[in-house]
Amino acid sequence: TPETLQMVWSSTKGVVAIAAHMLAQEGRLDFDAPVIEYWPEFGAEGKRDIPVRWLFSHRSGLAAIDQPLGLEDVIAWTPVVDALAAQRPLWEPGTAHGYHTFTYGWLAGEVMRRVSGVSVGQLVAERIAKPLGIEFWIGLPEELNDRVAPVLPPIPNDPPDPFVVRATDPTSLTYRSFTSPAIPPAAFNEYLFRSAEVPAGNGIGTARALSRIYAACIGEMDGVRLLDPATLDQATQTQARGEDLVMGFETHYGTGFQLPFPFRPMAGKGSFGHHGSGGSVGFANQELGFSFGYVMNQMRPVYGADPRTSNLINAFLSCL
């Protein structure tokens, strides 16, 4: 129903990026400054020269964490960011990119917390959700828990694609990235996880919320504009493109946003946003002047264009 809330998985990353770019356009965050300018402890293990932008474009080499971490560490936040500060990069930073499945959220979120003085969830609630009159949270209030649709497993016998097979191989970097920290799947339907701030993947909201957020990036939405044209232009410049060390195929990133690539074309040239596991997506297309949001609660074992998502996008485009 229109009142149902849904976890949007990695579509959360795009919303986090928008909040970060809002800090940048206010002069509070410099994406080209070294991370240690905001987070001094981060400089351990040869990371002193990593700029903030590499955290947002999956180029820092911190796609996985060697230290074993679990759900209790995720809830607490500090153990995860401390482990990331102490982590040695898995490849030479800046030389390649690889999807920072979960670590993106704590890397970006800790910098944003230190810049703004509030958590990333508070920042999104106060600076994005409230002005736009939408329902979107990173850290769900308890009174809303009953409105969240449960995450359902894939349809039986739904054939997985090669990426999903690789993601279940414990020797692969893909597996390491998707299990750092180790979060049991059952937790996704528990309030303990929904209430935590996991900025890479546990945003909860509606398709309308995602669409309105992106609409307010390319123009005014009820008098609210989140990003000015100059900020949006630099945010959507290519930062990483080519084979992804974690995913094993071509991906394409701006600063915090996915840009069109073969497996995730969105609406082609001019699109920016972020897909999430199972098929969710939020994006806008600057050239065509529209925004789009889709959420679902039944997962699909695919990483490429989910047929539900792509069919809806194509149907919409056929109406333009």
Mean pLDDT for each consecutive 10-residue tract of the chain (320 residues)?
93 99 99 99 99 99 98 98 99 99 99 99 99 99 98 77 77 93 95 98 98 99 98 99 95 98 93 94 97 91 73 91
Question: How many Å apart are CA 178 and CA 175, to the nearest integer?
Answer: 5
Per-residue confidence (pLDDT) for residue 160, from 0 to 100: 64
Pairing of the two strands 204-205 and 240-243: unpaired
Q: Are 225 and 132 in contact (CB under 8 A)?
A: no
Orientation angle between helical segments 78-86 and 103-116, nearest 10 degrees: 100
Q: What pLDDT, on a 0 to 100 scale, did the predictor assign at position 156?
A: 73
**pLDDT value, residue 153:** 86
Q: Which residue has the tokens 């449960």?
A: 150
Phi then psi for residue 137, to 5 deg, are -135, 145
Provide the token pair at 285: 């297309």
Q: What is the DSSP letter of 233?
A: H
Q: What is the pLDDT of residue 278?
A: 85
Question: Residue 9 region, left (φ>0) first, then alpha (ψ -120 to 50), else beta?
Answer: left
Task: Find out whether 222 and 133 touch, Cβ atoms under 8 Å.
Answer: yes
Eight-state DSSP code of residue 170? T
The reported pLDDT for the residue numbered 303 is 61
Q: Quote the CA–CA distance of 86 and 255 in Å, as a whole number.
A: 24
Contact 198, 190 (CB under 8 A): no
**Which amino acid, one-letter code, is at 216?**
A
Distances (CA, A) of 275 to 95, 106, 144, 210, 258: 24, 18, 24, 11, 8
The letter for the amino acid at 192 is: L
Length of the chain: 320
One CATH from 3.30.70.560, 3.40.710.10, 3.40.1260.10, 3.40.50.150 for 6-318: 3.40.710.10
Task: Determine the residue type at 312.
Answer: L
